[in-house]
Structure 1
Amino acid sequence: MPEPGAAPRRSPQGVPYTELQHIVNADGLHLFCRYWEPASPPRALVFIVHGAGEHCGPYDEIAQRLKEMSLLVFAHDHVGHGQSEGERMNVKDFQVFIRDSLQHVDLMKSRHPDLPIFIVGHSMGGAISILTACERPSDFAGVALIAPMVQMNPDSATPFKVFMAKVLNHMLPSLTLGSIDSKWVSRDKKQVEAYDSDDLNYHGGMRVSFAVQLMGAAARIEREIPSITWPFLLLQGDADKLCDIRGSRMMYENAPSSDKKLKVYEGGYHALHHDLPEVAESVLKEVTSWITEHLPASTQQPQGS
């Protein structure tokens, strides 16, 4: 609790958290949250997990579509992202993202104990989603992944570069590498402009320390894949320069799950949900229909009191 008379904590944009929906994580940092509540009693909970350097605002279209299907959708800006506290695009351990996700899931589960829970994750949010579901496999009814970060891009993860990154991380952890080239986000120029002009997105360079955390997460996913038995949907563009399609193919081929689907979009870029209009529409339909198909039969009935 703040000291009496202390100024309220404010978001990086200067808005007091008393005016923003938020949770406080285990490190005492305020995380900005969004909720999309359906008019009728919800049939399931869906947790949306955004990618590196972005925030949960641009997922409004997917969330609205899911809300129309009587699903209660929730999301937060990760530590160091968007309207949440924390050093921008830096985290002491990738596990913080997973821990915070489980905290938010547990909060929503305590409010709606009988509802199945799904996760929708994009890019780095896909990596967070995979590891979150691996930590609590029985908690989730399914995971939908849009261009997830499963492996580091082979060009950036040669043994020499990995070795150099680890050396640099000891010597110069705050050294910045190149920033995300926004032209690879989408084939739709309007979407690239929207990404570039969104002040809540991080437009700076990636630190060596953050890159090392991503490498560690990818290595952990590779170890976890042989034990994945929960249902999953993978949507991936074959021209994605930011999260290579080989990662999704490797996960699809090697996960023992009996309920898995991989859909590849020819020529698709990274943010498929914001790619060319027909691709974006297909992604919305795939995600919503896959989740509704995976609802337990009992949730099709009106909820009991």
Structure 2
Amino acid sequence: MVKEVEGTFPVGDVSLYTKSYLPDGPLKAKMIMIHGFSDHMGRYYDFFPTLARAGIAVHGLDQRGWGRSVQKSSQRGLTGPTSQVISDIAAFIKSHLPSDVPVFVLGHSMGGGQVLTLASSPEYDGLIKQVRGWILESPFIGFTAEEEPGWLTVFSGRLAGRLMPHFHLYRPIAPEKISRDPEVVKSIKADKLMHDTGTLEGLAGLLDRTGALSKGEARLSGNVHSLVLMHGNADRVCSFDKSKAWFERQTIEDGEFRVFDGFYHQLHADPGKETFYEGVRDWILERSSGKGEAAAAEAGPDVKVPAESPAVAEADGSVPGSKL
């Protein structure tokens, strides 16, 4: 039995929506969830319950400007500058510390880039030391070729952003590029909380963070000892190649790059998603019991996951019972 708890997290001048998934049995670990662009805590299917059933409590929030943290249309995409974004995330992680069990942080897509920016910020080194492990799901380290904005668009946007930082810009991503599951695509189109709208200030900050990561300007803290990066090699939104290039530049004591063969952007919502759920669960539990380094050495730094798990995938590649 998994207990779901909704709440709010006051930070600065806002109160952000939170949701937790709590185990019924003994608590073995905590995972802090940082979602992606236009996403929210209500879109992760059975991922969080799977972790909670294994004794891993999940705590997440709808970030400033997204999901149920938006109370009026003017707040859509109103994230503030990067300093504000990272400060919000750091404050939320800190609210779950100190902890009697290991704490892990997972960032998906835009959230993955934010998490890496935090883990590369010297001013947060004290907080970084208290995180047992870092999990990246399809992190935004670079665009795919089909999503890369032209230089003129970027230049014009930055110029306008200096004059009108809170100007809203509709920046949709085609749902068909996010998942191969037609039911997921349909649900994205129907989800009114996914507004696909950023501010010029927020989008410029996102591009700056991504640029710093892809160019190697943001250096990962030496206090990051365990990290796993999971990415589908058919991702049509965030570049698989740039994620792999970033990982190969790092020196991480317990680091692993996992390839999800044939998967699109949302590993948690693509056919065969159970392999992702189980991979995250087992990675956390191994490190919560102190077996992580041995397990990582045995698996190797680059692990490939098949496109579909035959036990859960239908003949047409869809997942039975896939729904929100």
Contact 1:133 1:140 in 2 (8 A): no
Contact 1:177 1:208 in 2 (8 A): no
Greater Cα shift, 158-167 or 41-50: 158-167
Partner of 2:281: 288
Q: Establish whether residue 230 from structure 1 lines up as the match of residue 218 from structure 2.
A: no
The one-letter code of the counterpart of 1:139 is Q
Q: 1:20 and 1:43 mapped to 2: Cα distance? A: 21
Tell me the SS of whatever aligns to 2:275: helix
2:104 pairs with one of 105, 109, 118? 118
Would the alpha carbon gap of residues 225 and 152 (structure 1) be closer, same or farther in structure 2, given more than 3 Å must change? farther
Q: 1:95 and 1:296 mapped to 2: Cα distance? A: 35
Shift of 1:35: 1.0
The one-letter code of the counterpart of 1:260 is G
Q: Establish whether residue 156 from structure 1 lines up as the match of residue 151 from structure 2.
A: no
1:195 pairs with one of 155, 174, 188? 188
Partner of 2:234: 239
Q: 1:100 and 1:133 mapped to 2: Cα distance? A: 14
1:137 pairs with one of 128, 138, 142? 128
The one-letter code of the counterpart of 1:129 is V
Taking only aligned residues, the RMSD between alpha carbons, in angstroms, comes to: 2.3
Would the alpha carbon gap of residues 83 and 177 (structure 1) be closer, same or farther in structure 2, given more than 3 Å must change? closer
More helix by share: 1
The one-letter code of the counterpart of 1:58 is R
Partner of 1:10: none
Would the alpha carbon gap of residues 232 and 158 (structure 1) be closer, same or farther in structure 2, given more than 3 Å must change? farther
Contact 2:81 2:201 in 1 (8 A): no
The one-letter code of the counterpart of 2:89 is S
**Unaligned 5+ runs, structure 2:** 292-324
Greater Cα shift, 208-217 or 127-136: 127-136
Q: Establish whether residue 65 from structure 1 lines up as the match of residue 77 from structure 2.
A: no
Q: 1:132 and 1:114 mapped to 2: Cα distance? A: 23
Partner of 2:27: 42
Q: 1:179 and 1:139 mapped to 2: Cα distance? A: 36
TM-score (norm 2): 0.77
2:89 pairs with one of 101, 113, 117? 101
Tell me the SS of whatever aligns to 1:36: strand
Contact 1:179 1:206 in 2 (8 A): no
Shift of 1:255: 1.2
Q: 2:9 and 2:132 mapped to 1: Cα distance? A: 24
Contact 1:176 1:208 in 2 (8 A): yes
Partner of 2:315: none
Partner of 1:213: 205
Would the alpha carbon gap of residues 177 and 85 (structure 1) be closer, same or farther in structure 2, given more than 3 Å must change? closer
Tell me the SS of whatever aligns to 2:265: coil
Tell me the SS of whatever aligns to 1:73: strand
Shift of 1:287: 0.8
Shift of 1:50: 0.8
Contact 2:76 2:198 in 1 (8 A): no
Q: 2:84 and 2:289 mapped to 1: Cα distance? A: 31
Would the alpha carbon gap of residues 156 and 164 (structure 1) be closer, same or farther in structure 2, given more than 3 Å must change? farther
Q: 1:131 and 1:45 mapped to 2: Cα distance? A: 21
Shift of 1:69: 1.4
Partner of 2:176: 183
Partner of 1:78: 63
**Unaligned 5+ runs, structure 1:** 1-18, 299-305
Q: 1:205 and 1:97 mapped to 2: Cα distance? A: 16
Q: 1:106 and 1:286 mapped to 2: Cα distance? A: 26
Partner of 1:168: 160
TM-score (norm 1): 0.82
The one-letter code of the counterpart of 2:115 is S
Partner of 1:16: none
Contact 1:227 1:255 in 2 (8 A): no
The one-letter code of the counterpart of 1:64 is P
Shift of 1:131: 2.3
Q: 1:226 and 1:102 mapped to 2: Cα distance? A: 16
Tell me the SS of whatever aligns to 1:59: coil
The one-letter code of the counterpart of 1:198 is D
Q: 1:171 and 1:273 mapped to 2: Cα distance? A: 38
Equivalent residues, number: 274
The one-letter code of the counterpart of 1:223 is E
Shift of 1:286: 1.0
Tell me the SS of whatever aligns to 1:241: coil
Shift of 1:227: 4.2
